[in-house]
Amino acid sequence: MDIKIRIEKACKTFGDGSITALQEVCLDIGSNEFVTFVGASGCGKSTLLRCIAGLETLSSGSIKVDGTPISGPGVDRAMVFQHYSLYPWLTVMDNIKFTRQLQINLEDITSADVEAASGRADALIDLMGLNHVKNAYPNQLSGGMQQRVAIARALLPRPQILLMDEPFGALDAQTREVMHDMILHVSKLEKTTIVFVTHDVEEAIYLGQRVVVMAPRPGRIDSICPVNLPAQRNQDMKLSAEFMQQKKAILTRIRETAGVHTDLELLARMTKPADNN
């Protein structure tokens, strides 16, 4: 495997060190690989993602991209959040071009660079199916459309790594399915390494080549589950016995790492009315 991201004994504490968000996390992520992270709340998924983005600094250990330690945000990495964070006063096209336009204003950029950025924005609008709304404003768009704009904006500078923190968490079930197929299509065309955090195990399996299960208190990698699905995926795969079996296994493991009891007899005893005699 051609390693794109190498995480070595990554630790992250907060406050006076009493809160350990990440404890000795080790993982290699390959070039063009789509890796998904799941786990109970508080297991450090989003913290790890922010450390890869350079938005948080590790307490110890290292994260390297192409062998170079991360020291802060960089143009080689882009991040998409659950909340779209679009500029309400800009159109779809101008939102997508904004970051690049800011660079153009601050740097000595030629007219050819400006034209190339506009051409790239046009291509991404086509890819995301946004042509019919490219002159619309964010408040005129559905949630799914707004997230497409946010993804297109992240992809504009051709990042090598796309970091996604529960990007579809606020969308309805039907829109999520459309977005799943769209992001898989984008990952193939753009040949981008994608690290994707989600609470939805079904989403993690459908999108990922590997599912990383994290455990809480302290946040650490519990297990890594290869996804044995064809590269060309469709929604019907979610109904297969293999898919359901893997979903059940991962859900069970998440409950176990979070200390959630699944024993029905125990639950029955806990909910049994008290004996007043």
- pLDDT of the chain, 277 residues: tens digit per residue: 799 999 999 999 998 878 899 999 999 999 999 999 999 988 999 999 999 999 999 999 999 999 999 989 998 999 999 888 899 999 999 999 886 665 555 455 566 666 777 888 899 999 899 999 999 999 999 999 999 999 999 999 889 999 999 999 888 888 899 999 999 999 999 999 999 999 999 999 999 999 999 999 899 999 999 998 888 999 999 999 999 999 999 999 999 988 865 454 555 665 666 555 5
- Residue 263 resides in a domain: no
Place of tokens 């590269």: 231
Environment class of residue 97 by beta-carbon count within 10 Å: exposed (0-12), middle (13-18) or buried (19+)?
Answer: buried
- Residue 232 resides in a domain: yes
**Amino acid symbol at 277:** N
> How many structural domains is the chain composed of?
1
Alpha-carbon distances of 102 from 91, 107, 136, 181, rounded to whole Å: 16, 9, 21, 31
Element housing 176 (H / E): helix 173-190
- Residue 123 resides in a domain: no
- Residue 9 resides in a domain: yes
- Residue 225 resides in a domain: yes
Alpha-carbon distances of 252 from 129, 200, 248, rounded to whole Å: 38, 13, 6
Strand order of the β-sheet with 3-14 is: 19-30, 3-14, 60-65, 68-69
Domain that includes residue 62, residue range: 1-76+161-169+191-251
DSSP structural state of residue 240:
S
- Residue 113 resides in a domain: no
Structure token digits, residue 71: 């020291």
Q: Are strands 210-215 and 34-39 parallel, antiparallel or unpaired?
A: parallel
- Residue 101 resides in a domain: no
CATH number reported for the structural domain that contains residue 70 in this entry:
3.40.50.300
Which neighbouring-strand residues pair with 14? 19
Element housing 11 (H / E): strand 3-14
Give the Cα-Cα-Cα angle 46, 94, 124 (nearest 5 degrees): 70
Confidence (pLDDT) at 258: 85
**Amino acid symbol at 103:** Q
Which neighbouring-strand residues pair with 34? 194
- Residue 20 resides in a domain: yes
**Amino acid symbol at 12:** K
What contacts 203, CB < 8 A, 6 or more positions away?
36, 168, 176, 180
**Before 218, cis peptide (omega within 30)?**
yes
Which neighbouring-strand residues pair with 164? 80, 196
Give me the DSSP letters along 47-70: HHHHHHHTSS--SEEEEEETTEEP
Q: Given its phi and psi angles, is residue 6 left (phi above 0), alpha (psi -120 to 50 degrees) or beta?
A: beta
